[in-house]
Amino acid sequence: MNETINHQLNHRTIRFFKEQPVDEEVVQEVLNVFQRTATSVGMQQTTIIRMKDKEKKEVIADIGQQDYIGEAPELFIFIADCHRNYQIARTKGLGEKPPAMDKYFQAVADTYLAAQNTANALESLGLGVNFIGNILNDSQRLIKLLELPQYTMPVLGLSFGHPDDNPELKPRIPVKYRVGVDSYPMYDNYLKELEDYDQEMTTYYDTRQNNKRSDSFSNQVLNYFDNNNLMRDKILLDIEKQGFVLFNEDNG
């Protein structure tokens, strides 16, 4: 156990922050960490949009349907970005050869790795973070708001600041169900296997300090798969609109 791992084992989502701003030196240091993150074939296909404009932050809060997004002292939007490199390739003589899905997914890999690396740096400094997946509720609106060019796509938000919130650790599915040796860790009946975890989550929701409710993990899972979000399920069409080729002709 060391300080890094201690912070990692104590990760909680921090939704509320003090008004105190994050020092600019800290932000710059964390951007250096972002820059040094591992990257697929060295292509560095991720970009951060740092949100300072209050009105734009409120639009993002509206997209994410969470007021507290607009209140956070700092908000980064992580972009999967093939634009910069594609322009370089075009300038060097590449013909019209827009990136296909393999390149999109490599940019996505760069982006999520960079987001987590950034979050680890922030938490190591005692700051609190909140990953915001809900920016994808209306990716077209976000793309316009951030003036994102072709061959880019927003994938994740990260708000951070000095924590004004101290939520309990959320229980997790036991490791043995999430780690297999040499093949997939297959069980006949996960609902039964996870009975104790389900109970633990129910107790967690029932006894936590804020936002108490009657709920269980398995009910959340049922609702999760029962409710399709049509705006979000059309993500491939949004990716295509941004210029990526979904299916290579030679692949039919």
Minimum distance, C-beta of residue 82 to a second copy, in the bound complex (Å): 8
Q: Is residue 38 involved in binding a second copy (CB under 8 A)?
A: yes
Q: How far apart are CA 232 and CA 216, in angstroms?
A: 25
Q: Does 208 bind a second copy (CB under 8 A)?
A: no
Q: Tokens 């059309």 identify what position?
A: 234
When binding is defined by CB under 8 A, the residue of 4, 166, 199, 210 that contacts a second copy is 4
Q: Select the residue interacting with a second copy from 140, 164, 185, 203 (CB under 8 A).
A: 185
Shortest approach of a second copy to residue 115 CB, angstroms? Answer: 7
Exposed/middle/buried for 19, CB within 10 Å: 0-12, 13-18, 19+?
Answer: exposed
Q: CA 30 → CA 14, 180, 216, distances in Å?
A: 18, 34, 37
| Spatial distance between the Cα atoms of 17 and 66, rounded to a whole number of angstroms | 14
Which of positions 95-124 make contact with a second copy (CB under 8 A)?
97, 99-103, 105-106, 108-109, 112-113, 115-117, 119-121, 124
In the region spanning residues 133 to 152, those forming contacts with a second copy, defined by CB under 8 A, are: 133, 136, 146-149, 152
Beta bridge partners of 12: none
Between 20 and 229, CB nearer to a second copy: 229
The binding track of 45-84 with respect to a second copy, each residue x by CB under 8 A or -, is: -xxxxxxxx--x----------------------x---xx
Q: Pick the closer one to a second copy by CB: 18 or 172.
A: 172
Among 93, 207, 209, 214, binds a second copy (CB under 8 A): 93
Q: Which token pair is 93?
A: 């003589």
Q: Which stretch binds a second copy (CB under 8 A): 15-23, 66-74, 90-98, 160-168?
A: 90-98
One DSSP character per residue, 13-63 reads ----B-SSPPPHHHHHHHHHHHHHS--GGG---EEEEE---HHHHHHHHHH
Q: Contact at 8 Å (CB) between 216 and 198?
A: yes
Q: Is 195 in the site for a second copy (CB under 8 A)?
A: no
Amino acid code (one letter) for 29: E
Nearest residue to 28 (alpha-carbon basis) of 50, 2, 56: 50
Q: Is 226 in the site for a second copy (CB under 8 A)?
A: yes
Does residue 21 touch a second copy according to CB under 8 A? no
Tell the smallest beta-carbon distance from residue 120 to a second copy (Å): 5
Distance in angstroms (rounded) separating the CA atoms of residues 128 and 159: 8
